[in-house]
Amino acid sequence: MEIESMVANSALIKAREGGGSKGRSWKWKEMLRFPQISQCRQLAMNIERDYYSLCVKQPIGKKLFQLFCRSQTDLTTFPLTISSVFPQSIQCVFTVQKHEQSCIQSLEIDPCGDVFYDCREDLHKYLSGDPFMQYQESMFFDRFLQWKMLERSPITKQTFRQYRLLGKGGFGEVWACQVRATGMMYACKKLEKTHVKKRRGEAMALNEKQILEGLDSRFVVNLAYAYETKHALCMVLTMMSGGDLRFHIYNIGVPGLDKDRVRFYAAEVCCGIIHLHQKSIVYRDLKPENILLDDNGHIRISDLGLAVRLSEGSLVRGRVGTLGYMAPEVISNKHYGMSVDWWGLGCLIYEMIAGHPPFKSRGEHARTSEMERRIQTEQEAYSDKFSKEATDLCSLLLTKDPNQRLGSFSGGTEVQSHPFFHKINFRMLEAGLIEPPFKPDPRQVYCSDVQDIEEFSSVKGVTLDHIDNNFYSQFNTGSVPINWQNEVIETGCFRELNVFGPEGSRSPDLDR
């Protein structure tokens, strides 16, 4: 490895280790200084007074509403407020008692179901009434507005520190970066403006950004910020330090992965696909390169450039994707829907086990027409690396006719209940409670050396004008609220800064 690469890697490793408080700028408190309440008036007038969004969905909103509830003595004695606000309180017994019958019933019907649904609904119904009104008059809500103002600060290049290059995409490079104010690490995907314009990628770039900001899944990369610089549009994404599955399948020992890892990654990808499909999004680009590992060894689906949202009941057309992974109905240019992603999952599982994709042998460079023929007409072969269950699952997912394919009847649940996954508890998996079978080494950088990633060429003869500026301003929306708030909480900045002055002096103890 060359010296340049070693220096870049060690800077990144050091930043990752220091991630959180040690990675903050020495000026971090200044960067996150609350504005005066008087400066929040405009916001107070315009913000949508929706209980669910303000007190449940937004992480900082939820914390401040909890603090408010704790400060109200009448609330602490109301039996219904207790179970989620004060989990350890004796009052929680009352809540359960009121709903005892319904809890018992739902336990009997489905012990894995959401037994406390009614309790929770009642609680929210109560809290969204008077308590929510009073909250909006309290200092806790003022504080919420102050945090919201910080959340809306303009995002520029200066918001981040940049580390090494991680990879290269179609429109630009992906760099490791760190938010100066909080120390949080991210990956910044840059789209060069001139490249986007030359290849008419505007709609595609905006589509990727808009789909990402509407998602909230532990199995899909999160978008934390979207901003622009003079030369690029930038999407700041969950940092995935463990490398992509392609790297793990091919660059570490014998091609392929052991069966525990295959099952685990397949199960997590399956959950990610289900999440996208629930939002009517077809992903269309499933392949090992697009599945990334985080530092703990969980995967997320990334690169949503080809994803598309279908309007209800409709299908799309378009020969997009990567040849070796395209479903037969995509190749033959028919209309298609979610089925193409189940085909993609079949290809992925096959490749993780075999160490090569289903219709291409190792190191082979088949011609396009030949690949198309194989995908449409040939039966894939199963070596003895495939267990009975794996063979069965792959061949059901790689069914040529999309209407007969596993996943096309009742969606992802029928894939999850295949015997291949019988060891996986999907509810635990979805809650992030299953330990990954492989944890990436925190001292290793799982991507190609910096100088092996081809340099991104510049485009000449493209001039940017006011029409482009209009598109840039649609893209340049700054922080994505839920992810920004999570960042501030996870890095400890919220805890350290959310103290109240002498008038409202109660020491915030938020971590119970």
Site membership for ligand ADP, residue 244 (CB under 6 A):
yes
Q: Which of 169, 214, 419, 504 binds ligand ADP (CB under 6 A)?
A: 169
DSSP string, 55-90: IIISHHHHHHHHHHHHH-HHHHHSGGGHHHH-TTST
Cα–Cα distance, 21 to 173 (Å, whole number): 27
Nearer CB in complex with Mg ion: 122/303: 303
Task: Return the one option of ligand ADP, Mg ion, none that residue 271 interacts with (CB less than 5 to 8 A, by type).
Answer: none
| Binding-site size, ligand ADP (CB under 6 A) | 20
Closest approach, Cβ 363 to ligand ADP, in A, equals 21
Token couple for 406: 């596993």
Residues 89-105 as b/e (b if ≥16 CB within 10 A, e otherwise) read: bebbebbeeebeeebee
To the nearest whole angstrom, how small is the minimum distance from the Cβ of residue 303 to Mg ion? 4
Binding piece for Mg ion, criterion CB under 5 A, among 100-108, 186-194, 298-306, 435-443? 298-306
**Is 114 exposed, middle or buried (CB count within 10 Å of its CB: 0-12, 13-18, 19+)?**
exposed
Look up 74 and say whether it is catalytic. no
- Position 244 contacts Mg ion (CB under 5 A): no
Q: Residue 288 or 358: which CB sits closer to Mg ion?
A: 288
| DSSP secondary structure string for all residues of 311-362 | PTT--B----S-GGG--HHHHTT--B-THHHHHHHHHHHHHHHHSS-TTS-T
Nearer to ligand ADP, 83 or 222 (CB): 222
- Residues at the binding site for ATP are 189
User: Is 302 a binder of ligand ADP (CB under 6 A)?
Assistant: yes
Size of the chain, expressed as the number of residues it contains: 512
Task: Candidates 135-143, 165-173, 340-348, 408-416: pick the segment binding ligand ADP (CB under 6 A).
Answer: 165-173
Distance CA 289, CA 110 (A): 38
Using the minimum distance from each CB to Mg ion, give the nearer residue, 256 or 305: 305
Q: Which of 50, 114, 260, 285 is catalytic?
A: 285
Closest distance to ligand ADP from the beta carbon of 477 (Å): 19
Contact status: 352 vs ligand ADP (CB under 6 A): no
- Is residue 167 within the footprint of ligand ADP (CB under 6 A)? yes
Asked if 268 is part of the footprint of ligand ADP (rule: CB under 6 A), the reply reads: no
Q: Going by C-beta distance under 8 Å and a sequence separation of 6 or more, which residues neighbour residue 447?
A: 166, 167, 243, 244, 247, 453
- By CB under 5 A, residue 172 contacts Mg ion: no
Binding residues: 189
Residue 213 makes contact with ligand ADP by CB under 6 A: no
Q: Decide: is 170 part of the binding site for ligand ADP (CB under 6 A).
A: yes
Q: Tell me: does residue 358 bind Mg ion (CB under 5 A).
A: no
**Site for ligand ADP contains 234 (CB under 6 A):** no
CB nearer to ligand ADP: pick between 141 and 160: 160
Measuring CA to CA, which residue among 343, 309, 317, 316 is closest to residue 328?
343
Least separation in angstroms between CB 289 and Mg ion: 6
* Amino acid sitting at position 60: I
Cα-Cα end-to-end distance for the chain: 47
Selected from 145, 177, 224, 237, the binder of ligand ADP by CB under 6 A is 237
The pair of three-digit structure tokens given for residue 7, joined into one six-digit string: 């220096």
CB 375 within 8 A of CB 399: no
How far apart CA 330 and CA 319 sit, in angstroms, is 5
370: three-class secondary structure by DSSP: helix
Residues numbered 433 to 492 that lie near ligand ADP (CB under 6 A) are 447
Nearer to ligand ADP, 123 or 187 (CB): 187
Q: Which amino acid is at 308?
A: V
Using the rule CB under 6 A, is 248 a contact of ligand ADP?
Answer: no
Considering only the stretches 304-312, 316-324, 376-384, 445-453, report the one whose residues sit in contact with Mg ion under the rule CB under 5 A: 304-312
Q: Which is nearer to ligand ADP, 60 or 174 (CB)?
A: 174
Q: Which span (57-65, 234-242, 343-351, 377-385) binds ligand ADP, by CB under 6 A?
A: 234-242
One character per residue 50-89, x = contact with ligand ADP (rule: CB under 6 A): ----------------------------------------
Helix (H) or strand (E) holding 142: helix 139-151
Say which residue the tokens 């960042």 belong to.
487
Three-state DSSP at 279 gives coil
Structure-token match 């697009």, residue found: 290
Residue 305 binds Mg ion, judged by CB under 5 A = yes
Judged by CB under 5 A, which of 303, 329, 341, 351 binds Mg ion?
303
Burial classification of residue 83, based on how many CB atoms lie within 10 Å of its CB (0-12 exposed, 13-18 middle, 19 or more buried): buried
Whether the Cβ atoms of residue 479 and residue 151 lie closer than 8 Å to each other: yes
Query: Are residues 351 and 288 in contact, defined by beta-carbon separation less than 8 angstroms?
Result: yes
Q: Which amino acid is at 163?
A: Y
Nearest residue (CB) to ligand ADP, 392 versus 490: 490
What's the closest the beta carbon of residue 461 comes to ligand ADP, in angstroms?
22
> Which parts of 152-294 fold into alpha helices (H)?
193-198, 202-213, 245-250, 259-278
State the Cα–Cα distance between residues 397 and 408, nearest whole angstrom.
10
Residue 192 found at the interface with ligand ADP (CB under 6 A):
no
Please count the helices (runs of H) and the strands (runs of E) in the chain: 25, 10
Closest residue to Mg ion in the complex (CB): 305
Distance CA 411, CA 405 (A): 10
Residues found near Mg ion in the complex (CB under 5 A)? 303, 305
Residues found near ligand ADP in the complex (CB under 6 A)? 166-167, 169-171, 174, 187, 189, 221, 237-240, 244, 289, 292, 302-303, 305, 447
Catalytic residues: 285
